Structure 1
Amino acid sequence: MTHMDKMPPPKGPGFERVLQQIPVAAILPVKQLPITVPKSQKYAQIAASIREAGLIEPLVVARAPGQDGTFILLDGHVRLHVLKEMAADVVTCLVATDDESFTYNKRISRLATIQEHKMILRAIERGVPEARIAAALNVDVALIRRKRTLLNGICPEVTELLKAKHCPVNSFRSLRKMKPLRQIQAAELMIAANNYTVAYTEAILAATDAADLVDPASKKEPVGVTREQAERMKAEMASLQKNIKLIEGTLGPDHLRLVVAGRYVERLFTNDRLVRYLEKHHGEILGELRQIVAGLNQPGPSSEGLGEAEE
């Protein structure tokens, strides 16, 4: 048997290509919502956004084995609860086909700032007044107006980079003052540092050359920072940008090797004799290996936004 014969067949797509309209009654939740959830402000916001703008993010379901026409709900328990209260008959769903789809909730990205911006635009296009959206989401109408114009002056590449990130609205204000190429560099710095705060974006803006600003004449020296400190900040930012590019070149292969090694160690843990031996003679090493495996199986960070973000 050749090496190619031993290769497993390639996996197909994790989801069916076409969204399905599925009867609400045919969807089975996999968990019971706590009784406090329907009374929470977050639930009220989700319900209001569905009433005003419709279902922005489809439910994620999987076909129930051996039960034709029945689906298991993987993501969207709060949305489904709201739809049932609204007496909805059918709902738009994304149907998962991957065998590991039950871990979907570990990998999804909640409604981010840019996604929320698109939700608001969609509601406005449907004729919903800004004041009504603000009342539904329990925020000031001025915030809705700022979110409506969130991407004005932001280049498409930055929109793509930050589309799943939870950036404060005012962070985009600093980005808007930069030229497109510098906007992209700033977004990459934010992602590398996992820091999207207003203070961090203002620091990047302060370290930006006047030539990279939309209005060079508007550049101001940072309050409480000397010219020497500002120049050192620029140099450090440039060095960090260079290091990011170097790391990007090795991140993919390094992560692949880590995953392969981690899965191999995970398989070794199924050998009881080996685990007992390690516990007896190399307990410290065993603990480190277990931490590595646990890290590979841990869900990524997520945070909740407005609209339909939940669970």
Structure 2
Amino acid sequence: MTGVSLGFIPEPLLVALDHILPSRRLPSTVFDSRKFRQIKASIEEIGLIEPLSVTAMDQATGNYVLLDGHVRLLVMQNLGLVDAVCLVATDDESYTYNNRLNRLSTIQEHIMICRAVDRGISPERLAKALAIDITSILKKLSLLKGICTEAAELLGDRQFSSDLSRVLRKMKPTRQVECVELMVAANNVTVAYAEALLVATPVARLVEGKKPARLAGISPEQMARMESEMGNLQAQYRLVEQTYGQDVLNLVLAKGYLAKLLENESVTRHLQQHYPDLLTEFGVVVETVSLDRRHFAETT
């Protein structure tokens, strides 16, 4: 098995700001932006969290070219700092390192905030450092309160609103897992979808054993119909989940066969002359599977 080459040197390096050259110019309006104020407040309170990304040092000048972190560099210069922790790239490609970064998921952010509080940083100081309201910090701190472990694991790599937890914790654990599975499968991890699932949840599967007061306007018949439809949807989801792997394998194999078949000009010409509708359907199958595989590659 071939080794995987790293995009940057693992050990960070302390570099003087005077020797870091920006690779692009920021607009003058950046000083008035919310992002600038947020980063400035964060660095003032708890220092630089995410290192800058730079190219390897130019041996002739001793300078480094900045790949990612232009606003952070500007903030540190504005604060009169003299050096910064940097990650040094192992290649010379001058594109932003944002293309290589995976942003923190909501649960990872929750864990980091909890660790900061455990180490003695107050929620008020964190709110000031991140330039957000203290209410947001408190919501992030209590994100997983009342959420079962299985549901939290399903949401582990997702970004979602803290208000999603408010909706989920009204459900019992097994129902939480079912709803999160549906949201993830639909790629729709939103508060609005969670509230719709809450509406369709039987009373017996809610923590308090009653529907929220604001849903009182829905008639018992409508509620029963929604619960029945949600039960059918859950059963269909389970059925699809059981056969999904084999179905995808069969589809990929069929796609490969059809793609090879359509590469044969004689076959394509024959189909075009005698079975044009069938040729169109074959093309749709090949293109659909190709799009699905590209989407999968882009999201992994």
Partner residue in 1 for 2:273: none
CA contact (8 A) 1:60 1:76 kept: yes
Within 5 Å, which residues of 2 pair with 1:20-59?
20-25=12-17, 26-59=19-52
CA contact (8 A) 2:54 2:67 kept: yes
Partner residue in 1 for 2:124: 131
CA contact (8 A) 1:14 1:98 kept: no
Partner residue in 1 for 2:278: none
- State the SS of the aligned residue for 1:42: helix
Partner residue in 1 for 2:168: 175
* Residues 30 and 10 (structure 1), Cα distance of their counterparts in 2 relative to 1, 3 Å cut: farther
Query: What TM-score do you get using the length of structure 2 for normalisation?
Result: 0.65
CA contact (8 A) 2:53 2:87 kept: yes
CA apart distance, 1:53: 3.1
CA apart distance, 1:170: 0.8
Partner residue in 1 for 2:232: 235
Partner residue in 2 for 1:18: 10
Residue identity opposite 2:38 in structure 1 = Q
- Summarize deviations over 1:202-232 as a string: whole Å, max 9, x none: 223344456765x363456955243022211
CA contact (8 A) 1:59 1:93 kept: yes
CA contact (8 A) 1:16 1:97 kept: yes
Q: Which of 72, 77, 81 in structure 2 is aligned with 1:79?
A: 72
- Summarize deviations over 1:225-251 as a string: whole Å, max 9, x none: 430222112322442454356556777
Partner residue in 2 for 1:145: 138
* Cα RMSD for the two superposed structures: 4.4
CA apart distance, 1:177: 3.6
Query: What TM-score do you get using the length of structure 1 for normalisation?
Result: 0.63
Consecutive unaligned residues of structure 2, counting only runs of 5 or more, are 256-282
CA contact (8 A) 1:19 1:92 kept: no
Q: What is the identity percentage for the equivalent residue pairs of Structure 1 and Structure 2?
A: 40
- State the SS of the aligned residue for 1:226: helix
Partner residue in 2 for 1:3: none
Within 5 Å, which residues of 2 pair with 1:197-236?
197-208=190-201, 215=207, 217-218=209-210, 223=216, 224=218, 225-236=222-233
Partner residue in 1 for 2:56: 63
* Residues 296 and 156 (structure 1), Cα distance of their counterparts in 2 relative to 1, 3 Å cut: same
CA apart distance, 1:32: 1.6
Partner residue in 2 for 1:281: none
* Residues 208 and 121 (structure 1), Cα distance of their counterparts in 2 relative to 1, 3 Å cut: same
**1-side partners of 2:245 and 2:65: how far apart?**
38
Query: Which has the larger Rg?
Result: 2
**2-side partners of 1:296 and 1:182: how far apart?**
33
CA contact (8 A) 2:170 2:208 kept: no
**2-side partners of 1:161 and 1:68: how far apart?**
50
- State the SS of the aligned residue for 1:73: strand
- State the SS of the aligned residue for 1:23: strand
- 2:147 aligned with 1:154: yes
Q: Which of 79, 84, 94 in structure 2 is aligned with 1:91?
A: 84
* Residues 13 and 128 (structure 1), Cα distance of their counterparts in 2 relative to 1, 3 Å cut: same
Consecutive unaligned residues of structure 1, counting only runs of 5 or more, are 1-8, 259-284, 302-311
CA apart distance, 1:23: 0.9
**1-side partners of 2:174 and 2:129: how far apart?**
37
Deviates more, 1:138-147 or 1:203-212: 203-212
CA contact (8 A) 2:43 2:129 kept: no
Partner residue in 2 for 1:266: none
* Residues 210 and 18 (structure 1), Cα distance of their counterparts in 2 relative to 1, 3 Å cut: farther
CA apart distance, 1:200: 0.7
- State the SS of the aligned residue for 1:232: helix
Residue identity opposite 2:25 in structure 1 = Q
* Residues 157 and 50 (structure 1), Cα distance of their counterparts in 2 relative to 1, 3 Å cut: farther
